[in-house]
Structure 1
Amino acid sequence: MSVKHAMLALLSAEPSSTYRLRKRFDASTGQTWPLNIGQVSTTLNRLERDGLVEHDEPVDDGTGGGQPWRLTPAGRAELAAWWARPVIAEQRGRDELVVKLMLATIAPGVDVEALVQVQRAATQQTMHDLTRLRREVEAHDLVGRLVLDHHLFIAEAELRWLDDVEGSVARSAHAGGRPAPASGEDEPLAAAPAGAKGTR
């Protein structure tokens, strides 16, 4: 999900000022995706440049947020096209953790097991924090619950994947492959752990 389409989606409900859009974005994402006012302003200016939004009639909503924005017909068409498109995993960007671990298996002098342990501890802490937030979410806050559940499922899957990576590295070392830590010898990329697929 891009900030661009998030702004279009929010404006499809009602015109809003830059300030109010940021507040509505925070509410709609359960405050799990921080977005500052500068990012919102820059995105809106680009949308205006592309003819997807325009300024609406000024209103005094008591927020002091400035002149409201609204969708243009082109903006509504772009949003409709986005709603109709599935999100393809390959379009979500490279997963830094997957790339990092893949490179660790071929780079000399890297203790892959130690790297996995550090990452596991960080992911477990993330799960702890998310679980605490999930308990604090109000029962009627559907958006908050859905967003936090999504992040929890991702963290759980990441922990399972890290277990698999650790097992694959250990089996490879036992079979006479790349030891952990590394021996310093160059090895082909195929030595990367099996099943190294990103969860995020």
Structure 2
Amino acid sequence: MSLSELHLALLLTSPRHGYEVKKQHDAWFPEAKPLAFGQVYATLGRLVRDGLAEVVETRSDGGPERTVYSVTVAGRERLEAWLSEPAPPAGSGGEDIVRKTVVALRTPRSGQSANEVVARQRTAHLRRMRELQQNGDEGTDVAVQLARRHAVLHLDADLRWLEEAVQTLSVRPAALGVGGGPAARPGDSSPAPSPHPMEGLA
């Protein structure tokens, strides 16, 4: 996640103090994990240190003093450069669900089998998918709708991978010494794919 660039974008729309940065970020990305205040202030501090943001005032508004930040010319250039650079395509195998499955397969003594890891992850993904579907798009602006749609499609792709992992582990559980039966022999046929996990959720 490009926290620095997101903070620059939030400051570009209007000078803000840390609480406002967090509040606006969470409004822009309601389906994402809320920013922690520690992340906000640490990021703002780095931006000021690097000359990408600056302190414009300190105000209290009847409460505790708050430091207000604004983006600098260098910060605008950094944000423009970030926006002009395509994001790296997904599929590098570096996501946590892939890492955990591979680790469980490679470390049978860890106490967590790959089947258990995949099953728990599938349950968590299905739960999150239901939450997103229940939220709906009514009354939200197009930016929020697009962000939510991306989250849904990403979850859908993960669920397809998890379903395939379940099928693979059921046929080849001993391929890496994870136990549960003999590995599939060359020429063995794979079981017919099960219905996609999204079916029946609506």
For 1:145 and 1:167, the matched residues in 2 are separated by 33
**How many residue pairs align between the two structures?**
179
3-state secondary structure, aligned to 1:69: strand
* Residue 53 (structure 1) aligned with residue 53 (structure 2): yes
Q: Which residue of 2 aligns with 1:115?
A: 117
Query: Per residue, is there more strand in 1 or in 2?
Result: 2
Whether the aligned pair in 1 keeps the contact of 2:11 and 2:70 (CA below 8 Å) is yes
3-state secondary structure, aligned to 1:105: helix
C-alpha spacing 1:90/1:113, structure 2 compared with 1 (3 Å): closer
For 1:17 and 1:142, the matched residues in 2 are separated by 26
3-state secondary structure, aligned to 1:6: helix
Higher relative contact order, chain-length normalized (CA < 8 Å, sep 6+): 1
Where do 5+ consecutive residues of structure 1 fail to align? 184-200
How far residue 131 of structure 1 moved from its aligned partner, in angstroms, is 1.4
> Residue 129 of structure 1: which of 120, 123, 131 is its match?
131
Q: Which residue of 2 aligns with 1:69?
A: 69
Where do 5+ consecutive residues of structure 2 fail to align? 182-202
3-state secondary structure, aligned to 1:51: coil
Q: Which residue of 2 aligns with 1:138?
A: 138
Q: Which residue of 1 aligns with 2:36?
A: 36
Q: Which residue of 2 aligns with 1:181?
A: 179
C-alpha spacing 1:129/1:31, structure 2 compared with 1 (3 Å): closer
> What stretches of structure 1 move > 6 A for 4+ residues in a row?
59-65, 90-93
C-alpha spacing 1:62/1:20, structure 2 compared with 1 (3 Å): farther
Could you state the TM-score of these two structures normalised by the residue count of structure 1? 0.75
Could you state the TM-score of these two structures normalised by the residue count of structure 2? 0.75
3-state secondary structure, aligned to 1:56: strand
How far residue 55 of structure 1 moved from its aligned partner, in angstroms, is 1.4
C-alpha spacing 1:92/1:22, structure 2 compared with 1 (3 Å): farther
Whether the aligned pair in 2 keeps the contact of 1:30 and 1:143 (CA below 8 Å) is no
For 1:60 and 1:93, the matched residues in 2 are separated by 47
* Residue 6 (structure 1) aligned with residue 9 (structure 2): no
For 1:118 and 1:71, the matched residues in 2 are separated by 43
For 1:52 and 1:5, the matched residues in 2 are separated by 10
C-alpha spacing 1:18/1:92, structure 2 compared with 1 (3 Å): farther
Q: What one-letter code is carried by the residue in structure 2 that aligns with 1:121?
A: T
C-alpha spacing 1:65/1:23, structure 2 compared with 1 (3 Å): farther
C-alpha spacing 1:92/1:18, structure 2 compared with 1 (3 Å): farther
